[in-house]
Structure 1
Amino acid sequence: MMIAENGYPRLHTLNISKDPLDDDGRPKRTGTMWTASAHIITAVIGSGVLSLAWAMAQLGWIAGPVVMILFSFVTYYTSTLLASCYRTGDPVTGKRNYTYMDAVKSSLGTLQGKLCGYVQQINLFGAAVGYTITTGVSMMAISHTNCIHRSGGSAAACSTDATPFIIAFGIIELVLSQIKGFGQLWWLSTVAATMSFTYSIIGLGLEIAKVAATRKVRGNLTGIRIGAAVTPIQKIRRVFQALGNIAFAYSYSIILIEIQDTIKSPPSEVETMKVANRFSVAVTTLFYMLCACFGYAAFGDSSPGNLLTATGLNPYWLLDVANVAVVLHLVGAYQVFSQPIFAFVEDQAARRFPDSRFVNKEIKIRLPGSGDKDTAGNRYYGLNMFRLVWRTGFVVVSTTISILVPFFNDIVGLLGAIGFWPLTVYFPIEMYIAGRKIVRWSGKWVLLKLLSMGCLMITVAAAAGSIAGIVDDLKASKGL
Structure 2
Amino acid sequence: MDLEKVNDDKELDKWLPITANQNGKWWYSTFHNVTAMVGAGVLSLPYAMAQLGWGPGVVVLVLSWIITLYTLWQMVEMHEMVPGKRFNRYHELGQYAFGEKLGLYIVVPQQLVVEVGVNIVYMVTGGKSLKKFHDTVCPNCKDIRLTYFIFIFASCHFVLSQLPNFNSISGVSLAAAVMSLSYSTIAWGASVQKGKQANVEYGLKASTASGTIFNVLNALGDVAFAYAGHNVVLEIQATIPSTPEKPSKKPMWKGVIFAYIVVAVCYFPVALIGYWAFGNGVADNILISLEKPRWLIAMANMFVFIHVVGSYQIYAMPVFDMIETVLVKKLHFRPSFVLRLVSRSIYVAFTCFVAITFPFFGGLLGFFGGFAFAPTTYFLPCIMWLAIYKPRRFSLSWFTNWICIVLGVLLMVLSPIGGLREIIISAKNYKFYS
TM value normalised by structure 1: 0.76
Residue 191 of structure 1 deviates from its aligned partner by: 2.0
Greater helix content: 2
Give the structure 2 partner of residue 349 of structure 1.
327
What are the residue-to-residue correspondences of 1:34-73 with 2, within 5 Å? 36-73=29-66
TM-fit CA distance, 1:331: 2.7
TM-score normalised by length of structure 2: 0.83
Structure 2 partner of 1:324: 302
Q: How does 1:141-156 map to 2 (within 5 A)?
A: 141-148=132-139, 150=140
2:364 to 411, 416, 428: 411
Question: Are residue 106 (structure 1) and residue 96 (structure 2) matched?
Answer: yes
Does 2:91 correspond to 1:83?
A: no
Q: Deviations over 1:2-55 (max 9, x none)?
A: x97585657977x4xxxxxxxxxxxxx753xx6654543343222121111111
Higher strand share: 1
Q: Is the 8 A contact 1:247 1:416 kept in 2?
A: yes
1:305 maps onto 2:305 in alignment? no
Other-structure match for 1:432: 385
The letter for the 1-side match of 2:211 is Q
Q: Deviations over 1:404-424 (max 9, x none)?
A: 221111112223223333212
- SS state at 2:88 partner: coil
Is the CA contact 1:174–1:395 (under 8 Å) kept in the aligned structure 2?
yes
Q: CA deviation at 1:387?
A: 4.8
Q: Distance between the aligned counterparts of 1:186 and 1:406, measured in 2?
A: 29
Cα 1:326/1:65, change in 2 over 3 Å: same
Show the counterpart of 1:249: 226
**Residue 136 of structure 2 contacts residue 294 of structure 2 at CA under 8 Å; is this kept in 1?**
yes
* Native 8 Å contact 2:90 2:235 kept in 1: yes
CA distance in 2 between partners of 1:344 and 1:82 (Å)? 20
8 Å contact kept, 1:139–1:165 = yes
Contact 2:204–2:212, Cα closer than 8 Å, also in 1: no
Deviates more, 1:344-353 or 1:438-447: 438-447
Tell me what 1:233 maps to: 210
Q: How far apart, in 2, do the equivalents of 1:343 and 1:352 lie? A: 13
Q: Provide structure 2 residue ranges, at least 5 long, that are not aligned to the other structure.
A: 1-11
Q: Match of 2:284, SS?
A: coil
Bigger Rg, which one: 1
1:84–1:432 Cα contact (<8 Å) kept? no
Change (3 A) 1:76 1:317: same
CA drift of 1:224 comes to 1.5
Listed as ranges, the matches of 1:158-173 within 5 Å are: 159=143, 161-173=145-157
Q: CA–CA distance in 2 between the matches of 1:225 and 1:429?
A: 35
Q: 1:125 to 1:6 in 2, by over 3 A?
A: farther
- Matching residue of 1:181: 164
Equivalent position of 1:120 in the other structure: 111
CA distance in 1, matches of 2:20, 2:300: 26
How far has the Cα of 1:240 moved from its partner? 1.0
For residues 67 and 431 of structure 1, what CA distance do their matches in structure 2 show? 24
Q: Letter of the aligned partner of 2:178 in structure 1?
A: T
Residue 121 of structure 2 corresponds to 130
Separation (CA, whole Å) in 1 of partners of 2:17 and 2:233? 12
**1:56 touches 1:223 (CA, 8 Å); kept in 2?**
no
Determine the C-alpha separation between the residues in 2 that align with 1:209 and 1:186: 34
Cα distance in structure 1, aligned partners of 2:169 and 2:156:
17
Q: Deviations over 1:431-456 (max 9, x none)?
A: 21122223567785466334313211
- % identical aligned pairs: 28
Q: State the aligned residue count.
A: 417
Q: Which sections of structure 1, spanning at least 5 residues, go unmatched?
A: 16-28, 152-157, 363-381
What is the RMSD computed on CA atoms of the aligned residues? 3.4
Give 1:56 shift: 1.0
